[in-house]
Chain A
Amino acid sequence: MSGFPILSLMLAIPAVAAVACVFLSANAARWTALIATLADLALGIFLWAQFDIGGPQWQFVERHDHLFGVFGYALGIDGFALMLIMLSVFLMPICIGASWRAIKSRVPEYMALFLVTELLMIGTFAAQDLFLFYVFFEAGLIPMYLIIGIWGGANRIYASYKFFLYTLLGSVLMLIAMLWMAHYAGTTDIPTLMQTDFPVHAQTWLWLAFFASFAVKMPMWPVHTWLPDAHVQAPTAGSVILAGVLLKLGGYGFLRFSLPMFPEASAQLTWLIFALSAVAVIYTSLVALVQQDMKKLIAYSSVAHMAIVTIGLFAFNRQGVEGAMIVMLSHGLVSGALFLCVGVIYDRLHTREIDRYGGLSINMPRYAVLFLLFTMASIGLPGTSGFVGEFLSLSGTYQLSTWIALLCTTGIILGAAYMLYLYRRVAFGEIRHDDVRKMPDLSIREFWLLAPIAAVVLWMGVYPESFLAPMRNDVGTLIARVSRATPVSDSQPAAGKSAPVAKGEAR
């Protein structure tokens, strides 16, 4: 491990580029943003290549304790953080590319805000100090509020307020819990806190405070209502980053804080997570089925997919946690790609109404193929990333609660229903509108935005080991940490015994 502060560099590049963008012309800002995000992607790949699988839990550690008085500047990543950072830096150049032509007004500010968002996402995943994490986590609200509010659709102001205030209210309670933890443990170091045993009666309160924040971020039913509004109003790239990375902050929070820091409370309140998730899977899938707006449909499908993540995380076993991580990565790619697909046709016709399209497979064959691939990945077809994650997550859940597994599996069926129904209405059938007939197929730029995602989706579906390997030890550590509190399973699988054989009949 070199002493070179590579994580700080990954934070510094977008920061510098964001400041530069403000002072540049539109075109120069576009190129600056693209180059900066590609540089971060290159650094991310370097990070992955250098990551020592099976090595120490925390790698690339940088510490400046007490740089900010009571809390310090401490960075470092484990396998979970590495994978989520990879997801962020992978999606970011694609977002910039997707906004290349779609955003025409106030381009320098737009690019600067996206770069700030990237900085904050990487910072959130890499932070090793409790309050540094909080700062990065919360600060993400500001650029997203401005992105939705300035470049969003007609109802953008309502959506931006709702997004901001909902998530803020969730998070402030977490801050109080963090203050208590720092006071109790006498440290703000996340790895140390992950080893701290908090008193059981306090754990419940702390867990609920963190839950308030992460459940809104995730989002879990019934606090998911900000998401459809935010998605529908945000510009395409904003939706991509919202669905692709920002929703993962909730899952990452459960993984990093709730489970290892409060194992007993997590076990006690697993029923809450399971109940909300089961409702979310079925309810939001049904809601998705009747949507007329493509983005709204995908937004509701996100809520359903995130519920699969939460049940996997709280399954307290290896399959569940690994599955949850893969669902997060897969959903980040797939829903991002689906929003891009919506963006492609939205840029042509300026409507997201499903009924305005139809028969796109006739005049846009390349588009239809890629859209189909992402639709199938969203459903969870074997061979795509969606299958691996959902299968692992549900099989992990089955070991703890057969009923919840049963209920959530219906979500897969409903997911197939609404996604296929969407695809049929958009891509198949006759072309009914003249303006749809005139729509050109994917441009080269659009193709190259979608193709890399498609490649990774297939890679993750066929050989998920590449993505699971860096996380394996960390999952083991987490399971070992929570094992003392694992709830009793209702399935009680036992090794089979052969039936006793009566004497005399053996012959």
Chain B
Amino acid sequence: MFDLASLMMVLPEEILSIGATVLMLVAAWGGQKSARAVTWVSIAILIGAGIALMGPASSGGVAFGGLIRADAFAGFSKALIYAAAAVALLMAPRFFERTSGGDLRPEYPVLILLSAAGMGIMVSAGDLLTLYVGLELQSLAAYVLASFMRRDARSAEAGLKYFVLGALASGILLYGISLVYGFSGTTMFDGVAQAYAAIVPGIHDYGLMFGLVFVFAGLAFKISAVPFHMWTPDVYEGAPTPVTAFFASAPKVAAMALAVRVAISAMGPAVSDWRQIVIFASLASIIFGAVAAIGQSNIKRLLAYSSINNVGFALVGLAAGTQQGVASVLMYLTIYIAMTLGSFLVVLQMRDHEGNPVESIASLSGLSRTRPGLAAAMAIFMFSLAGIPPLFGFYAKFAVFSAAVNAGLFPLAVFGIAASVIGAYYYLRIVKTMYFDDPAPAYAPGDSAVEGGLITVAAIFISPLGYLAIPVLGAWTMAAAKALF
């Protein structure tokens, strides 16, 4: 069967997988020398996939008899994923050169491409099994990436931990899927939705409900929402910094978008059932992410807890369960990846005189005097993550809480926003360290125009100037959300 229309709708995934396969061969024959070239070609492939999004990939509708949905929602999520993956590629070369003696292996960009292909399938899944295939493709690439610095014990530990716990979560998810399949007779989202809609109010259908709970538990692991977050700090701390930046951005977007699609498209009729789960996970993530971050002394660990905290806020928008809620989740993710990639780019600049990476928060002391520009950018990201206006992070929180209030979820909105003040404390601590404390030994001067440029772009996007992008972003996210309803 040769279904040209369907093949056109998955054009981005085709570009990515074919590109990744070819590059893998290049890497196998070219060896270490080809690393730089492979990186640049990979970025070109990601751009190509991004361009392909403008075609039927974001407006085609249903492909392969419903296994894939190429709609605006998938298009918008993929655009974010590819952008984040490209930044993760740009960050990598210098980092690996400095830390492991020129050990940038060409497998890194290939794995990122494969992971991006998997994420693309995740966000456009129209079937529980497509979902699982995409998720595993992404995850397997991610496990290898986490342990990419194979001579570094922490990196190896991170990869192993991620793999074991990730496999457990996949098992939970698969178990949930099997229950849903068993009690609804189908794995297609439409059919599953019909099965949930057919539940007579008042009579509990335990099979479908257990399936729902297990599916959400598996997804909660992937987005690292409390109580399935335990792997996050260890993996984020141990993985090489560019990989951590990647984990905190692209897979987060993909898993979150996947959770939104499953919740709305497949389990939409059971909204009152999964809403409780989402509300619990949301508040627990906001509060736990904030409280646990207070005692951290390692910046990567702190950002890991920050990402847990942020997932909690994104879930506030999902809890609303409305079109506005879905749009606000996408808006949140857009702003969040800019903030988090910016922060990790700053972390990449934290190097002592010999060029070795430093990760302690204390080493940021007095950064505003030794590297004023870098400190200002970091301060912008931190205030923005804390959600203080006039920075763009405020609008992200504004959007999700607006959706929650409009959906009538007042207790969630009130507790969630009150708990955001706890989060402000540890973000302020970074600013305090950089601005109020006496200077620690200065970092090595910035030597990468690419990284400096990316930090500047992210900081400008997060600055009040970003507000001018709201009408455009708002229209896009709204159009994307509409595709699910």
Interface, chain A (partner B; CB < 8 A): 66-70, 106, 109, 131, 134-136, 138-139, 141-142, 145-146, 149-150, 156-157, 160-161, 164-165, 168-169, 172-173, 175-176, 179-180, 182-183
- Could you list 8 A-B pairs, sorted by A, with CB under 8 Å? A68-B395, A70-B474, A135-B390, A141-B388, A146-B435, A165-B421, A173-B414, A176-B405
A138 touching B388, Cβ below 8 Å: yes
Instruction: State whether the Cβ of B432 lies closer than 8 Å to any Cβ in chain A.
Output: yes
A183 touching B405, Cβ below 8 Å: yes
18 new A-B contacts, CB < 8 A, other than A134-B389, A138-B394, are A67-B468, A67-B471, A68-B467, A68-B470, A68-B471, A135-B390, A135-B394, A138-B388, A139-B388, A146-B435, A149-B435, A149-B436, A150-B436, A161-B425, A165-B424, A168-B424, A179-B413, A180-B410
**Nearest-Cβ distance from residue B471 to partner chain A, whole angstroms:** 5
Bound-state Cα–Cα, A115 to B165, Å: 51
**Nearest-Cβ distance from residue B291 to partner chain A, whole angstroms:** 14
B470 touching A176, Cβ below 8 Å: no
Interfacial chain B residues near A146, Cβ < 8 Å:
431, 435
B471 touching A180, Cβ below 8 Å: no
B471 touching A69, Cβ below 8 Å: yes
A175 touching B398, Cβ below 8 Å: yes
B414 touching A176, Cβ below 8 Å: yes
Instruction: State whether the Cβ of B83 lies closer than 8 Å to any Cβ in chain A.
Output: no
In the complex, which residue of chain A has the Cβ closest to the Cβ of B376? A22
In the complex, which residue of chain A has the Cβ closest to the Cβ of B406? A183
**Max chain A CB contacts within 10 Å: which of B390, B406, B418, B435?**
B390
In the complex, which residue of chain B has the Cβ closest to the Cβ of A141? B388
Instruction: State whether the Cβ of B54 lies closer than 8 Å to any Cβ in chain A.
Output: no
Interfacial chain A residues near B390, Cβ < 8 Å:
135-136, 139
**Nearest-Cβ distance from residue B141 to partner chain A, whole angstroms:** 36
A139 touching B389, Cβ below 8 Å: yes
Bound-state Cα–Cα, A157 to B425, Å: 12
Closest 7 CB pairs between A and B? Answer: A69-B470, A135-B389, A69-B474, A179-B405, A172-B417, A139-B390, A149-B436
**Nearest-Cβ distance from residue A134 to partner chain B, whole angstroms:** 7
B471 touching A150, Cβ below 8 Å: no
In the complex, which residue of chain B has the Cβ closest to the Cβ of A209? B414
In the complex, which residue of chain B has the Cβ closest to the Cβ of A15? B464
Interfacial chain B residues near A67, Cβ < 8 Å:
468, 471
From residue 431 to 484 of chain B, which have CB atoms closer than 8 A to chain A? 431-432, 435-436, 467-468, 470-471, 473-474
In the complex, which residue of chain B has the Cβ closest to the Cβ of A183? B406
Describe A's contact surface by its main secondary structure: helix
From residue 380 to 418 of chain B, which have CB atoms closer than 8 A to chain A? 383, 388-390, 394-395, 398, 401-402, 405-406, 410, 413-414, 417-418
In the complex, which residue of chain A has the Cβ closest to the Cβ of B390? A139
B388 touching A168, Cβ below 8 Å: yes
Bound-state Cα–Cα, A173 to B413, Å: 9
In the complex, which residue of chain A has the Cβ closest to the Cβ of B399? A70
If A138-B388, A142-B388 touch, whether A164 touches B428 (CB-CB below 8 Å) is yes
Interfacial chain B residues near A131, Cβ < 8 Å:
398
Interfacial chain B residues near A168, Cβ < 8 Å:
388, 421, 424
Interfacial chain B residues near A135, Cβ < 8 Å:
389-390, 394
Bound-state Cα–Cα, A394 to B93, Å: 71
A164 touching B424, Cβ below 8 Å: yes
If A176-B413, A183-B406 touch, whether A142 touches B383 (CB-CB below 8 Å) is yes
In the complex, which residue of chain A has the Cβ closest to the Cβ of B425? A165
A156 touching B436, Cβ below 8 Å: yes
**Max chain B CB contacts within 10 Å: which of A136, A172, A182?**
A172
Interfacial chain A residues near B170, Cβ < 8 Å:
none
Instruction: State whether the Cβ of B115 lies closer than 8 Å to any Cβ in chain A.
Output: no
B474 touching A172, Cβ below 8 Å: no
In the complex, which residue of chain B has the Cβ closest to the Cβ of A134? B389
Instruction: State whether the Cβ of B420 lies closer than 8 Å to any Cβ in chain A.
Output: yes
In the complex, which residue of chain B has the Cβ closest to the Cβ of A172? B417
**Nearest-Cβ distance from residue B25 to partner chain A, whole angstroms:** 47
B421 touching A172, Cβ below 8 Å: yes
A180 touching B424, Cβ below 8 Å: no
**Nearest-Cβ distance from residue A427 to partner chain B, whole angstroms:** 35
Interfacial chain A residues near B413, Cβ < 8 Å:
176, 179
Bound-state Cα–Cα, A182 to B406, Å: 9
B474 touching A176, Cβ below 8 Å: no
In the complex, which residue of chain A has the Cβ closest to the Cβ of B429? A161
**Nearest-Cβ distance from residue B102 to partner chain A, whole angstroms:** 38
In the complex, which residue of chain A has the Cβ closest to the Cβ of B424? A168
Bound-state Cα–Cα, A183 to B405, Å: 8
Interfacial chain A residues near B368, Cβ < 8 Å:
109
Bound-state Cα–Cα, A168 to B435, Å: 20
| Proximity bits, B182-212, A CB within 8 Å = 1, else 0 | 0000000000000000000000000000000
Interfacial chain A residues near B467, Cβ < 8 Å:
68
Interfacial chain B residues near A134, Cβ < 8 Å:
389
**Nearest-Cβ distance from residue A143 to partner chain B, whole angstroms:** 11
Interfacial chain B residues near A136, Cβ < 8 Å:
389-390
In the complex, which residue of chain B has the Cβ closest to the Cβ of A116? B390
Bound-state Cα–Cα, A497 to B406, Å: 58
Bound-state Cα–Cα, A37 to B95, Å: 46
Interfacial chain A residues near B470, Cβ < 8 Å:
68-70
Which of these, B389, B405, B418, B420, contacts A180 with CB under 8 Å? B405
Which of these, B394, B401, B421, contacts A176 with CB under 8 Å? B401
B418 touching A138, Cβ below 8 Å: no
Bound-state Cα–Cα, A150 to B433, Å: 11
Bound-state Cα–Cα, A290 to B46, Å: 69
**Nearest-Cβ distance from residue B405 to partner chain A, whole angstroms:** 4
In the complex, which residue of chain B has the Cβ closest to the Cβ of A108? B372
Interfacial chain B residues near A70, Cβ < 8 Å:
402, 470, 474
From residue 18 to 55 of chain B, which have CB atoms closer than 8 A to chain A? none
Bound-state Cα–Cα, A69 to B470, Å: 6
In the complex, which residue of chain B has the Cβ closest to the Cβ of A170? B421
**Nearest-Cβ distance from residue A25 to partner chain B, whole angstroms:** 14
Bound-state Cα–Cα, A70 to B324, Å: 12
Bound-state Cα–Cα, A322 to B365, Å: 49
Interfacial chain B residues near A150, Cβ < 8 Å:
435-436
**Max chain B CB contacts within 10 Å: which of A66, A109, A175?**
A175
B436 touching A157, Cβ below 8 Å: yes
Bound-state Cα–Cα, A169 to B420, Å: 9
B428 touching A176, Cβ below 8 Å: no
B432 touching A169, Cβ below 8 Å: no
**Nearest-Cβ distance from residue B404 to partner chain A, whole angstroms:** 8
Interfacial chain B residues near A109, Cβ < 8 Å:
368
Interfacial chain B residues near A138, Cβ < 8 Å:
388-389, 394
**Nearest-Cβ distance from residue B290 to partner chain A, whole angstroms:** 12
Which of these, B394, B401, B468, contacts A179 with CB under 8 Å? B401
In the complex, which residue of chain B has the Cβ closest to the Cβ of A73? B467
Bound-state Cα–Cα, A160 to B470, Å: 32
**Max chain A CB contacts within 10 Å: which of B368, B410, B421, B474?**
B421
**Nearest-Cβ distance from residue A479 to partner chain B, whole angstroms:** 32
Bound-state Cα–Cα, A139 to B436, Å: 19
B401 touching A175, Cβ below 8 Å: yes
In the complex, which residue of chain A has the Cβ closest to the Cβ of B331? A69
A160 touching B418, Cβ below 8 Å: no
Bound-state Cα–Cα, A135 to B384, Å: 13
Interfacial chain A residues near B406, Cβ < 8 Å:
179, 183
Interfacial chain A residues near B402, Cβ < 8 Å:
70, 179, 182-183
**Nearest-Cβ distance from residue B373 to partner chain A, whole angstroms:** 10
Interfacial chain A residues near B394, Cβ < 8 Å:
135, 138
Interfacial chain A residues near B417, Cβ < 8 Å:
172-173, 175-176
Bound-state Cα–Cα, A150 to B467, Å: 29
Bound-state Cα–Cα, A182 to B403, Å: 12
